[in-house]
Amino acid sequence: MTRFVARRLMGMITVLFAVSVIVFVVFMVLPKQNPAQTLAGKNATPVLVKNIEEEWGFDESLPQQYLTMMKKVFTGELIQYSPRLPVLDLIVEKIPATFSLTIGAAIIWLFFGLLLGYLSAIRAGGWLDRILTGVSIAGISIPVFLLAPVLIYVFANKLEVLPNGQYVPFEEDPIEWLKHLILPWVTLAVLSIGFYSRVLRSNMLDVMNEDYVRTARAKGLSERQVMTRHVLRNSLIPVITLFGLDFGATIAGTAIITEAIFDIDGVGNYAADAVAKFELPPIMGVALYGAFFVVLLNTIVDVVYAYLDPRVRLGESASA
Amino acid sequence: MSAPLLSVRDLRVGFATEEGVVQAVDGVNFDLAPGEVVAIVGESGSGKSVTAQTIIGLTRASNARIEGSVKLGGEELTSAGDASMRKLRGERIAMVFQDPMTSFNPVYRLGDQIVEAIRAHRPDTSKKQGKERVVELFEAVGIPDAGRRVDDYPHEFSGGMRQRAMIAMALALEPEVLIADEPTTALDVTIQAQILGLIEELNRERNLATILITHDLGVVAEVADRVLVMYAGKVVEQGTLDEIFYDPQHPYTWGLLGSLTRLDRPRPHRLPQIAGSPPSLLDLPDGCPFRPRCPHEFSKCPEYPGLEARLPDSSDHRDRCWLSPEEKREKRMVEGQIGLEAPREVGQA
Amino acid sequence: MTEAGGDGGSPLLEVTDLVKHFPIKRGLLVDREVDQVRAVDGVGFEVRRGETLGLVGESGSGKSTACRSVLQLIKPTSGSVKFEGREIAGLGRRQMRPLRREMQMIFQDPYASLNPRKRVGQIVGDPLKRQGVASGSELRRQVQELLERVGLSSEHFNRFPHEFSGGQRQRIGIARALSLKPKLVICDEPVSALDVSIQAQIVNLLDDLQDEFGLAYLFVAHDIGIVRHISDRIAVMNEGKIVEQGTADQVCETPKDEYTKKLLAAVPIPDPRESRERVRNS
């Protein structure tokens, strides 16, 4: 098991390195335009461009340029130019908002998704299953950019129970923090609830037909023991790995639309802004931030999977 | 004569499906005494597995209709509550299934799964005590290095070892009856011999009553005391081991015996076969279910034959064939061996 | 058992020192080969025209891997495979294509070896079409003839595999294998997944087809009873090696190798008296 974890960690470092090289090549090397020009952004002055050229060393060799870039990233010197602020600081500032949004939504979608999936599976074919299936499919089908405005209209404008956007930090006012996040959470979670409930339902139905479930019943275990210890345990394994990857992607930035609609000042919003203005440093910063989380979650998922399913662990003794 | 341990009377199991009612089991009767081995023989669709699973209560479902009686030590099982059946499973009747590769949960240690079985019935047992018992059981079934192997996962065992572990788990609570559903079918022949030897030994040493479900008559010959031959959900012949092998009364039995390869005899020119294929339970012929494949069909066959003892000197040897004993004795010989000739025209399987 | 037990002259298939190893890789960052699984470890046999060679062994013996290596479905690690005198070991896909007409295979699982989305007519006819042998109505005619020859009906042409029983599906597989009129058919456990009474039907069918078309069979199975019935000669495999070879009668009646003896002793005798005798004598 330790060997497995070590391998995965090495893999993670390798992938992150590769991603950083790709970011470098895509943003610095490939474009025909002078990279300094791109970095300076839309409102660049020739003086600014010259300064950037010197700072970043674009007359040096490519590997040297890469090293310079990485150094800038790690020492927080990656600076966006309008307004003139360090990218790293800005990202760090916006992380609490994004994390509040994504972690909260993730907990909601995981809980309800699994609950609905479980109920559907144990009552498969019945009226409850049919209703829940309909709900799930509706959830999967409604686009975020439709759901969000509708929720805002109903709860914020008409009923006036919830605010219509923006983010309030937890330290400032926990209640407001919560109120401001409820609609965004629901928006972000609805799609995944539908999806996860389908996945769990499907897995459970498959597992319920497995021979070892029959063995469990033949041993004299109660239905509840059979369902939790054997069926649910085995059905959850693929769901957990799915969740890990999903969550990684969400943190990395797929919450962009939700952040934009609800005007939440998180990393996603920052990225959307930067793309609109075509400011290279923030784009690069967010790309690396995103890659980091995706790879991290990916690695965690691999390790958790190996813990849950012993067959996956490489290097264990083969059958006698 | 002591009362039988297990008594099955007129067991019928039907399943409601979209295409109609499938009568998977249509009238099974037999007794099982302590220490006896009864083999139920049949091919796919014969109903042998459903019979076994019904005895232990695993076929209860909203679309299943179970009629008849199954009595264990006088207690009626078909109408017993779910909780009583659950207590019984594993403790008084234990079951071993066919495919050892998939019969254990791959994510838990094998020893833990056996401890789970023990603690389900004896909750006061500590995990440590449970594990000690598992080591004992592993040794009893011939798993070497038992102390270490208790902590292994199922995929770390070979097929034969897993089957031994299954048997160990079945024995854990010292049941009165062991039901083995095709226990050796998925195993190599050398391993099969070992597992059969084990089952035999356990049956002898512990006086463990055993119901053996199989399609392999070779296995039956080695282990069984009495045999039931099932076809299309019905018992078509039943009797003692010698009666079935040396004086079989039903054409299907002749067909099964004839299509076996015998290493101790010269090779026949052609392997005797049974033409056609097992019928769909949704579309059974009137009268004897074996009619379409039987070369000896005659005018009485459309009338459904009852399971009766038709021989003067044996009240327990029963069959469902209208032919007279003399006709049977004559017709079952094909080229000097017991077998079944192909009828003139039958569709192929 | 064949009527014409193979002719004299050079063998149809000649396998010498066939080896197939699967590497076991370990490593922290980069995989290194630390050991090998010796699935096939130096195997040699020959199959003559019109005869049946039975290859018998238990799971893990390497017999399935050997078959696939012979057919170049997987690439042998080393060794020689000669078909009609021509070396085919290590040939690429393109070079093997014309040879595929001569060497065909029947698989064990009748439920998995037929594409469930294709109709029977397509399954059996595709090889003919691909090799450019026939098309259109001529193709249809040939396929229907084949279906009847294996005991099915020409009207099964348009049906899907799931509409058939295991035995019937195996017949479809046989029809497909025979469509190109091969010289050699490798049968990989063709009856193990079938009911006992159906096994005999399929074995008899294979026998008949061998007589009619002059086919050579490499018959691979773990059931030595069936192998003995259908084979002229038998090779016994254990742990990647052939431990004994000879005529069917020789191997089964006077086995020389310990493993062969063990294998034969393990087969249950479907005769209670004999079985009791055996126990008394052991």
pLDDT digits (tens, 9 = 90+) for B153-210: 998 888 889 999 999 999 999 999 999 999 988 888 888 889 999 998 988 898 899 9
Name the minimum distance, in Å, from the CA of A4 to any CA of chain C: 8
CA dist list (Å): A16 to A12, A19, A254, A284, A295: 6, 5, 19, 14, 7
**Least CA distance to C37: which residue of chain A?**
A318
Q: Edge-to-edge, what's the strand order for the sheet holding C52-56?
A: C103-106, C184-188, C216-221, C52-56, C233-238, C241-247
d(CA A114, CA A203): 11
If pLDDT is split at 50, 70 and 90, which confidence band does B278 have?
confident
Are B349 and C207 in contact (CB < 8 Å)?
no
Are A211 and B97 in contact (CB < 8 Å)?
yes
Name the minimum distance, in Å, from the CA of C91 to any CA of chain B: 34
Asked whether residue B336 carries a pLDDT value surpassing 80, the answer given is no
Asked whether residue B215 carries a pLDDT value surpassing 80, the answer given is yes
Nearest CB among B94, B107, B166 relative to A308 is that of B107
Nearest to A97 by CA among A248, A265, A271: A265
Question: Any idea what DSSP says for residue C3?
Answer: S
Are B105 and A225 in contact (CB < 8 Å)?
no
3-class secondary-structure state, position C220: strand
If pLDDT is split at 50, 70 and 90, which confidence band does B122 have?
very high
User: Is B77 within 8 Å of B32 (Cβ atoms)?
Assistant: no
* Percent of chain C's residues with pLDDT above 70: 94
Are A216 and B105 in contact (CB < 8 Å)?
yes
Are A219 and B99 in contact (CB < 8 Å)?
no
Q: Where does residue B35 fall: left (phi above 0), alpha (psi -120 to 50 degrees), or beta otherwise?
A: left
User: Is B22 within 8 Å of B14 (Cβ atoms)?
Assistant: yes
Nearest CB among C201, C225, C252 relative to B273 is that of C201
Question: Any idea what DSSP says for residue B344?
Answer: S
Nearest CB among A212, A219, A319 relative to B90 is that of A219
User: How many interface pairs between A and B have CB atoms less than 8 angstroms apart?
Assistant: 79
User: Is B150 within 8 Å of B138 (Cβ atoms)?
Assistant: yes
d(CA A273, CA A264): 12
Long-range contacts of A121-124 (CB under 8 A, 24+ apart): A121/A200, A121/A201, A121/A204, A121/A205, A121/A208, A121/A235, A122/A204, A122/A227, A124/A201, A124/A205
d(CA C157, CA C135): 15
Please identify which residue in the block is written with the tokens 């003086």: A47
Burial class (CB in 10 A: 0-12, 13-18, 19+), C91: middle
Q: Which chain B residues touch A218 with a CB distance below 8 Å?
A: 56, 58, 89-90, 94-95, 97
Are A211 and B86 in contact (CB < 8 Å)?
no
C97 touches chain B (CB under 8 A): no
Q: What share of chain B is helix, strand, coil (3-state, %, to 5)?
A: 30, 20, 45
Q: Is the torsion defined by CA of B141, B144, B149, B150 positive or negative? A: positive
What is the three-state SS of B266-334? CCCCCCCCCCCCCCCCCCCCCCCCCHHHCCCCCCCCCCCCCCECCCCCCCCCEECCCCCHHHHHHHCEE
C263 touches chain B (CB under 8 A): yes
Average pLDDT over residues A168-191: 84
pLDDT at B226: 94
If pLDDT is split at 50, 70 and 90, which confidence band does C3 have?
very low
Residue B21 corresponds to which amino acid? V
What is the three-state SS of chain A? CHHHHHHHHHHHHHHHHHHHHHHHHHHHHCCCCCHHHHHHCCCCCHHHHHHHHHHHCCCCCHHHHHHHHHHHHHCCCCEEECCEEEHHHHHHHHHHHHHHHHHHHHHHHHHHHHHHHHHHHHCCCCHHHHHHHHHHHHHHHCCHHHHHHHHHHHHHHHCCCCCCCCCCCCCCCHHHHHHHHHHHHHHHHHHHHHHHHHHHHHHHHHHHCCHHHHHHHHCCCCHHHHHHHHHHHHHHHHHHHHHHHHHHHHHHHHCHHHHHHCCCCCHHHHHHHHHHHCCHHHHHHHHHHHHHHHHHHHHHHHHHHHHHCHHHCCCCCCCC
Nearest CB among B219, B257, B349 relative to C201 is that of B349
A3 touches chain C (CB under 8 A): yes
pLDDT digits (tens, 9 = 90+) for A114-132: 999 999 998 888 899 999 9
Are A3 and C28 in contact (CB < 8 Å)?
yes
User: Is B254 within 8 Å of B335 (Cβ atoms)?
Assistant: no
Asked whether residue C101 carries a pLDDT value surpassing 90, the answer given is no
Report the C-alpha dihedral over residues B324, B325, B331, B335, rounded to 10 degrees.
Answer: -170
Q: Which chain A residues touch B88 with a CB distance below 8 Å?
A: 220
Average pLDDT over residues A186-200: 89
pLDDT at A318: 36
**Least CA distance to B280: which residue of chain C?**
C165
Name the minimum distance, in Å, from the CA of C257 to any CA of chain A: 24
Are A219 and B103 in contact (CB < 8 Å)?
no
User: How many interface pairs between A and C have CB atoms less than 8 angstroms apart?
Assistant: 9
A221 touches chain B (CB under 8 A): yes
Q: Which chain B residues touch C275 with a CB distance below 8 Å?
A: 221-222
pLDDT digits (tens, 9 = 90+) for B216-269: 888 899 899 999 999 999 999 999 999 999 999 999 999 999 888 888 888 888
Length of chain A: 320
Q: Which chain B residues touch A211 with a CB distance below 8 Å?
A: 97, 99, 102-103
Are C264 and B272 in contact (CB < 8 Å)?
no
B104 touches chain A (CB under 8 A): yes
Range with the poorest average pLDDT among A28-32, A174-178, B157-161:
A28-32
d(CA A293, CA B86): 48
User: Is B293 within 8 Å of B221 (Cβ atoms)?
Assistant: no
pLDDT digits (tens, 9 = 90+) for B70-91: 999 889 999 999 999 999 998 9
Are A10 and C28 in contact (CB < 8 Å)?
yes
Q: Mutate one of A5, A7, A15 to test the C interface: name it (highest C CB count within 10 A).
A: A7
Burial class (CB in 10 A: 0-12, 13-18, 19+), C39: buried
Average pLDDT over residues C17-25: 88
Hey, what are C4's tokens? 């014409």
Q: Mutate one of B223, B267, B294, B345 to test the C interface: name it (highest C CB count within 10 A).
A: B267
C residues 16-35 lying closer than 8 A (beta carbon) to B: none
Q: DSSP per residue over C32-78, as a string?
A: EEEEEEEEEEEEEEEE-TT-EEEEE--TTSSHHHHHHHHTTSS--SE
d(CA B192, CA A153): 71
Range with the poorest average pLDDT among A74-78, B96-100, C65-69:
A74-78
Name the minimum distance, in Å, from the CA of A130 to any CA of chain B: 19
Range with the poorest average pLDDT among A185-199, A288-302, B183-197, B330-344:
B330-344
User: Is C243 within 8 Å of C256 (Cβ atoms)?
Assistant: no
B residues 137-176 lying closer than 8 A (beta carbon) to C: 159
Half-sphere exposure of A153 (CA within 13 A, CB side): 6
Hey, what are C33's tokens? 């080969």
Range with the poorest average pLDDT among A174-178, A279-283, B86-90, C272-276:
A279-283
Nearest CB among B215, B260, B261 relative to C195 is that of B215
C68 phi and psi, to 5 degrees?
Answer: -65, -35
d(CA C161, CA C168): 9
Q: What angle do CA A254, A256, A260 make, to 5 degrees?
A: 160
pLDDT digits (tens, 9 = 90+) for C214-239: 999 999 998 888 999 999 999 999 99
If pLDDT is split at 50, 70 and 90, which confidence band does C5 have?
very low
Q: Which chain B residues touch A215 with a CB distance below 8 Å?
A: 97, 103-105, 166
Hey, what are C73's tokens? 């479905």
CA dist list (Å): A275 to A270, A271, A283, B264: 9, 6, 7, 83
C274 touches chain B (CB under 8 A): yes
Are C272 and B221 in contact (CB < 8 Å)?
yes
pLDDT at B243: 93
B204-224 core/surface letters (b: 16 or more CB in 10 A; e: else): eebebbbbbbbbbbbbbbbbb
Asked whether residue B344 carries a pLDDT value surpassing 70, the answer given is no
User: Is A262 within 8 Å of A166 (Cβ atoms)?
Assistant: yes
d(CA C15, CA C55): 13
User: Is B104 within 8 Å of B162 (Cβ atoms)?
Assistant: yes
* Total Cβ atoms within 10 A of residue B124: 6
B residues 43-62 lying closer than 8 A (beta carbon) to C: 43-44
What ipTM goes with this model? 0.84
pLDDT digits (tens, 9 = 90+) for A212-257: 999 999 999 998 899 999 999 999 988 988 898 888 888 877 778 8
Q: Which chain C residues touch B278 with a CB distance below 8 Å?
A: 195, 197
Name the minimum distance, in Å, from the CA of C61 to any CA of chain A: 15
A7 touches chain C (CB under 8 A): yes
Asked whether residue B313 carries a pLDDT value surpassing 60, the answer given is yes
A37-73 core/surface letters (b: 16 or more CB in 10 A; e: else): bbbbbeebeeebbeebbeebebeeeeeebbebbbebb
Task: Please report all neighbours of A, defined by 3+ CB atom pairs within 8 A.
Answer: B, C
**Least CA distance to B276: which residue of chain C?**
C198
pLDDT at B307: 87
Hey, what are C208's tokens? 């008949």
Average pLDDT, chain C: 87
Q: Mutate one of B182, B243, B264, B280 to test the C interface: name it (highest C CB count within 10 A).
A: B264
A313 touches chain C (CB under 8 A): no
Nearest CB among B43, B188, B217 relative to C195 is that of B43
